[in-house]
């Protein structure tokens, strides 16, 4: 036990003896972790946006005014049996009317005409969600060719426009993902080089002590251990700093994000904040792994035990 405690004590001593180098190393590793996290954050935002847009897509089928709500319900039950249909929501005639009114501004000509008409001119409808984007076209075709074709007054084909947007977004996200991989590798290499250099300097500044350690019978583990501890402190310190930078940025940007994604189920800030310990854990793990790889390389190169 005292053996491990001493290794940690010497590691912490080494950290303090080169405090400025330690702080600069932490800062640069933190900067790299922050940039990597930001890229992953953008990726997450893109994925959430894509999912939210996909969730919004549906195929609307509206029936003639003579079709009853019960009949729409029966058709809906029947269409649920179709392959690729995920969910069907029935819009009653009344609901259809209310939705129409809600979509118009007060004093609109259409609303005035509706009042003059004195009755509900809308038929019921179905809002169909498919299991995949590609399935909407086939479902629309099957409905148009099916036994209920004569009852259909209008089919909303918004999914065609949305599909184009989604394809563009998907292509953009794929590009972002490729860039993420390369940038993450680049930042990892920078962080590794930084810690490598810090450990190299620490080894150089403690060469006298290391020589004496070896002379009086210190084991390899005892000579190398403190440098591992120092590197771990760099990694964990960088993770703490990165998390400390990320939190206020998210807090500040949350209202703007909420406003931008109003109506969509996108909550990057909420996702990060509710998983803050996981975020910190991942940062600490990434920082520590980078630090350990670097220190091992530096020790292999400069520490002959």
Question: Which is it for the CA torsion 128, 132, 133, 134, positive or negative?
Answer: negative
Task: Return the number of the residue (215 or 262) whose C-beta is nearest other proteins.
Answer: 215
| Interaction residues for other proteins, span 220-239 (CB under 8 A) | 220, 222
**Among residues 102, 149, 215, 262, the one that binds other proteins under rule CB under 8 A:** 215
**Among residues 3, 172, 204, 260, the one that binds other proteins under rule CB under 8 A:** 3
CB of 14 to other proteins, least distance (A): 12
**Among residues 218, 240, 273, 293, the one that binds other proteins under rule CB under 8 A:** 218
Using CB under 8 A as the binding rule, whether residue 142 contacts other proteins is answered as no
Q: Specify the stretch interacting with other proteins by CB under 8 A; choose among 1-9, 42-50, 274-282, 283-291.
A: 1-9
Task: Return the number of the residue (16 or 172) whose C-beta is nearest other proteins.
Answer: 16
Q: What is the 3-state secondary structure (H, E, C) of the chain?
A: CHHHHHHHHHHHHHHHHCHHHHHHHHHHHHHHHHHHHHHHHHHHHHHHHHHHHHHHCCEEEEECCCCCHHHHHHHHHHHCCCCCEEEEEEECHHHHHHHHHHHCCCCCHHHHHHHHHCCCCCCCEEEEEECCCCHHHHHHHHHHHCCCHHHEEEEECHHHHHHHHHHHHHHHHHHHHHHHHHHHHHHHHHHHHHHHHHHHHHHHHCHHHHHHHHHCCCCHHHHHHHHHHHHHHHHHHHHHHHHHHHHHHHHHHHHHHHHHCCCCCCCHHHHHHHCHHHHHHHHHHHHHHHHHHHHHHHHHHHCCC
Q: Specify the stretch interacting with other proteins by CB under 8 A; choose among 35-43, 74-82, 219-227, 273-281.
A: 219-227
**Among residues 73, 209, 258, 267, the one that binds other proteins under rule CB under 8 A:** 209
Using CB under 8 A as the binding rule, whether residue 302 contacts other proteins is answered as no
Using CB under 8 A as the binding rule, whether residue 216 contacts other proteins is answered as yes
Q: Judged by CB under 8 A, how many residues of this single chain contact other proteins?
A: 16
Using CB under 8 A as the binding rule, whether residue 212 contacts other proteins is answered as yes
CB of 8 to other proteins, least distance (A): 13
Q: Specify the stretch interacting with other proteins by CB under 8 A; choose among 63-71, 117-125, 181-189, 212-220.
A: 212-220
**Among residues 214, 240, 253, 261, the one that binds other proteins under rule CB under 8 A:** 214
**Among residues 107, 118, 217, 248, the one that binds other proteins under rule CB under 8 A:** 217
Using CB under 8 A as the binding rule, whether residue 172 contacts other proteins is answered as no
Query: Residue 154's beta-bridge partner residues?
Result: 62
Query: Are 59 and 128 a contacting pair, CB within 8 Å?
Result: yes
- Applying CB under 8 A, the residues found at the interface with other proteins are 2-3, 6, 208-209, 211-220, 222
């Amino acid at each position: 036990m005292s053996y491990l405690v001493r290794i940690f004590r010497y590691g912490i001593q080494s950290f303090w003896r080169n405090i400025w180098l330690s702080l600069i190393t932490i800062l640069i590793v933190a900067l790299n972790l922050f940039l990597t996290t930001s890229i992953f954050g953008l990726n997450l935002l893109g994925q959430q946006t894509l999912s939210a847009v996909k969730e919004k897509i549906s195929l609307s089928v509206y029936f003639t005014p003579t079709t009853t709500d019960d009949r729409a319900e029966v058709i809906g039950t029947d269409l649920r049996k179709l392959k690729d249909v995920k969910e069907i929501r029935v819009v009653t005639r009344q609901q259809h009317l209310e939705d129409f009114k809600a979509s118009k501004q007060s004093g609109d000509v259409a609303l005035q005409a509706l009042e003059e008409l004195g009755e509900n001119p809308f038929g019921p409808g179905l809002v169909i969600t498919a299991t995949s984007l590609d399935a909407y076209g086939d479902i629309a075709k099957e409905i148009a060719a099916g036994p209920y074709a004569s009852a259909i007054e209008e089919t909303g084909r918004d999914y065609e426009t949305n599909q184009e947007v989604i394809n563009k977004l998907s292509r953009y996200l794929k590009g972002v993902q490729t860039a993420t991989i390369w940038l993450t590798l680049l930042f990892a290499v920078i962080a590794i080089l930084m810690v490598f250099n810090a450990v190299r300097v620490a080894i150089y500044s403690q060469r006298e002590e290391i020589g004496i350690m070896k002379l009086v019978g210190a084991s390899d583990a005892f000579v190398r251990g403190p440098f591992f501890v120092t590197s771990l402190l760099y990694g964990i310190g960088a993770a703490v700093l990165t998390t400390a930078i990320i939190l206020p940025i998210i807090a500040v940007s949350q209202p703007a994000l909420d406003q931008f994604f109003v109506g969509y189920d996108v909550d990057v800030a909420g996702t990060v904040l509710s998983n803050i310990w996981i975020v910190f854990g991942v940062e600490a793990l990434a920082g520590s792994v980078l630090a350990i790889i670097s220190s091992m390389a530096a020790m292999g190169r400069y520490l002959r035990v």
